Structure 1
Amino acid sequence: MHVPSKAGMACRKFLTLLAGTLAFSAMAASAYAQQLPLFDAHMHYNVEARSVLSPQQVIDLWRKTGIRAVLATSRPNDGTLDLIAQKAPDITIVPFLRPYRVQPDRHDWFSNAEIDAFVEKELQRGIYRGIGEFHIFGKDADAPFMAKIARLAKARDLWLHAHADEDAVERILRHAPGVKLIWAHTGMSTPLDKVEQMFAQYPNIVGELSYRMDLEQDGALNPRWRALMTKYPNRFVVGTDAWVTPRWGQVEELAAFYRRMLGGLPRDVAERIAYRNGLSMFGLEEERSTR
């Protein structure tokens, strides 16, 4: 009969203790993540949603879900104005100018002279912190109006929010080097090697994470995403992207998904991606901390 040595028994005891400690740490991280406030950096209160949800119902949903700040856009911009008018003291609303009046504008906004005039008029409100979300792909990003928007954003210290492939993103950044850009869906299907390459090359890109179907692996945060988020903890934000009305019914589920994924990160990184990055991008962190 084999009798374990004292060293072997001690080793097994240590490994058992270590496994228990790691399991407890994972549970603690997961429990902590469930309490994280969120900055929703991609939402749309479009005309279709406004016919179903009142501004107060939207505010109540955010309050219930733990969404404490939002990057607000709508088609047309009236939806964003309605949300601001609620003056909810516990919800910070960061308004962006969306260059769409009606749904078809998404297809030709960058070559439509009427949109040029529309954007100029909307900017006169003096409330917007950025322009977008807009859709642009490939060589369309070299359209004169897209170049104008990029340079205008750089000159006025506005953010751009681009639903774009990596080709279009790089073209935009060539028009206005240094312009601040939120990359909707972080390219959605852009390979992670390319994402990492672009983050290294362009420090003014922030990746928004909605619809990145590869975030999750086996019910937890994909290790490749974990490495990328740990490497660039100040460069990611979360978003619900309620681009169609039924998705508003998924906001609570999406918030729970993000918190579950963030539970796989160190606490400070999870906090940054959940809400601190969004606040600091718009100079709001100090303001919120004093409330």
Structure 2
Amino acid sequence: MKRIRCLCFLLLWFALGSSAPTYGAGTVTRHAALPTFDAHLHYNWEPVPHLPLARVLALFRENEVTGILATSRPNHGTRALYEAQPKDLWVVPIIRPYRIRPDVQTWMNDPQTEELIATDFKRGYYRGIGEFHLSGRAAEAPQVKKTVEFAVKHNLYLHTHADDKALEILYRHSPKAQIIWAHTGFSTEPAKVEAYLQRYPNLWCELSYRYGITEGGKLTPEWRRLFEKYPERFLIGSDTWVNERWDNYGSIMLAYREWLQQLPDEVAKEIAFRNAERLFGKAAKAKAVKAQ
């Protein structure tokens, strides 16, 4: 009798397993193996990294992360990632205007910020400035305006953790600014997000910590509509700003895949990695490397 129960259990297990949807050649959920670009990653070196570099690179492989928008405080961690990038990882480095954590509150009024950005930019490989924090009228500070002007002049992206008012001020500094909006305002109403997308053609929305995208694991109708209407304007990211985020990296990326698989395949691919490739020019970079 015991053997019969075991046999029945095994037959049931194989039956359920064989009914799983496929992606590519594997019997896994549709987007389980979907490559992803992490557009909000911090590898902070203050005072030392939480994980050694080899473990970080392995973590990306384990989670099918094929590219990252790399930042750190100070910029040592970003440089370490860029210099160590293996063939299966594309590192897009951006300059963070912070040396230590308190700079989050003071960078916009610190005259050393301008020098920090200009000095690191001379390395020749940075693609943007950020992530930097701004709230309300703090975005009116002269140093912020200088940062926007520097980015526009050198065709750099601005990765900003900003509320609605600060975002609008950044675009008042220059309508040509190319902005990646960290967290998409956290809780800004979807209707207002759409209004910004229409108003600012050089705005892309990054979705870490973004509230309200799903309910009970399902995409809300408002966000599904936004993703399907503007598939080229969204990015995903882990925001590994504290050690806990590194420890839960796999779960964070899995959560994205769970709602990406609810979207049409082409829309999911745009958000998962194609938008980043288009923005940061992976195809152009690969062509240049091949030419060398």
When the two structures are superposed, what TM-score results if normalisation uses the length of structure 1? 0.87
CA contact (8 A) 1:50 1:79 kept: no
User: How do 1:22-41 and structure 2 match up within 5 A?
Assistant: 27=21, 31-41=29-39
Q: 1:27 to 1:218 in 2, by over 3 A?
A: farther
Alignment correspondent of 1:213: 211
Secondary structure at the aligned position of 1:278 is classed as: helix
119-128 or 27-36, which deviates more:
27-36
Shift of 1:90: 0.6
Shift of 1:259: 0.5
Q: Is 2:104 the counterpart of 1:106? A: yes
User: How do 1:248-259 and structure 2 match up within 5 A?
Assistant: 248-259=246-257
Unpaired stretches in structure 1, ≥5 consecutive residues: 1-25
Unpaired stretches in structure 2, ≥5 consecutive residues: 1-19
Q: 1:266 to 1:42 in 2, by over 3 A?
A: same
Secondary structure at the aligned position of 2:212 is classed as: coil
Shift of 1:218: 2.0
Superposed CA deviations along residues 155-199 of structure 1, whole A, max 9, x for unmatched, are: 110000000011111110111112110000011111111111111
48-57 or 222-231, which deviates more:
48-57
Instruction: State the distance in 2 between where 1:111 and 1:244 align.
Output: 25
Amino acid at match of 1:215: I
User: How do 1:196-235 and structure 2 match up within 5 A?
Assistant: 196-235=194-233
Amino acid at match of 2:66: R
How many residues were matched structurally? 266
Amino acid at match of 2:106: D
Alignment correspondent of 1:64: 62
Instruction: State the distance in 2 between where 1:53 and 1:253 align.
Output: 17
Amino acid at match of 2:215: Q
Alignment correspondent of 1:265: 263
Report the aligned-residue RMSD. 1.9
CA contact (8 A) 2:43 2:49 kept: no
Residue 81 (structure 2) aligned to one of 80, 83, 99:
83
Instruction: State the distance in 1 between where 2:46 and 2:219 align.
Output: 33
Secondary structure at the aligned position of 1:32 is classed as: coil
Secondary structure at the aligned position of 2:50 is classed as: coil
CA contact (8 A) 2:85 2:91 kept: no
CA contact (8 A) 1:150 1:160 kept: yes
